[in-house]
Copies of this chain bind each other. A is one copy, B any other.
Amino acid sequence: MIGSMRELVEQAKSLPGKRVVIAAAQDEAALGAAVEAERIGLAEPLLVGVKAEIERTLEKLGAPKDKFEIVVKNEEMEAVGESVRLIREGRAHVLLKGKTKTGTLLKAVLDKERGLRTDRLLSDVFIFDCPFRREHRIMGVTDGGITPVPTLEQKVQITKNAVEAFHSLGYEKPKVAHLSAIETVSPGIQSTVDAAEIAGMYKKGELENCIVDGPLAFDLAVSKDAAEMKSFVSPVAGEADILIGPTIEASNILAKSLMYTAPFEPGHVIVGARAPVLICSRSESSEAKLNAIAFGCLMAHWQEETH
């Protein structure tokens, strides 16, 4: 079981020959992350895009040009399509967004014929060193990136995606809290109704290899003291590994507030496709980008082993 982001990177390094393909690689943020991943022996980058621009950016980054394989595709759509194809063919394992829009990349990923689509919804899983417990653990927040107002069925898929992501980190039965503003079911707050429904599905055995409860207010999910004071009994209370927010805003705001208050760097990966998809933004630190690549490599390895 991986207990920290540092261990995550170390474990990913030990995996053999993981390849990260960068779609439209002439992007400084993405290329910087890839160069660093190569330098520390985390993954081997495969660069798809405009050769001259890629070489210029490599030079700017002080990286040796001859170390990287470049697949020349001058058009954005072509570069994205080729990157997806390289993953389908098994020549790369993780897809990293370069100089293209997230929407364009995800459209190619979701293409029914040529994409990496599965029967799953895509969702963004944010992970970081858990700041709430003494034990050495990773905590996840989802989905702060893809589905604005998930339906009940979509929340189930978001749950399954996050649980698989945690399986890839070695958590056999991750504890999942469906968050709301309160811990009682109130018809006026739809998220409490949905959370109770999903907890019910778990009790009926419809969600495997995890422990699920909800609705939980945030304090009950992360603090045993709060749960005790409120006499709230739940197998997840105070021990949640995965926090599922009811909307994209709730999850996004939570993940970012944790990033800015706790002294650690996160990593996030879009899961639910045939391969992990990474979106590195300029405002993410270089450490966060490496964490994302490491997380992607572990997910890809786990997917290969189990599917």
Q: Is the CB of A229 within 8 A of B283?
A: yes
Contact partners of A181 in chain B: CB under 8 A:
144-145, 148, 248-249, 251-253
Q: Does A207 contact B (CB under 8 A)?
A: no
Docked complex Cα distance between A181 and B189 (Å): 20
Tier of interface size on chain A:
35 or more
Q: Is the CB of B257 within 8 A of A218?
A: yes
Docked complex Cα distance between A256 and B217 (Å): 9
Segment 213-249 of A: residues with Cβ below 8 Å from B: 217-219, 222-223, 225-226, 229-230, 245-249
Docked complex Cα distance between A214 and B254 (Å): 18
Instruction: Return A160 CB to nearest CB of chain B, in Å.
Output: 21
Q: Is the CB of B179 within 8 A of A219?
A: no
Instruction: Return A167 CB to nearest CB of chain B, in Å.
Output: 25
Contact partners of A188 in chain B: CB under 8 A:
148
Q: Is the CB of B249 within 8 A of A257?
A: no
Q: Is the CB of A189 within 8 A of B261?
A: no
Chain A residues near B (Cβ < 8 Å): 131-132, 144-145, 148, 179-182, 188-191, 217-219, 222-223, 225-226, 229-230, 245-254, 256-262, 281-283
8 tightest Cβ-Cβ pairs between the two chains A and B = A181-B252, A218-B256, A261-B261, A229-B283, A250-B250, A181-B248, A148-B189, A218-B253
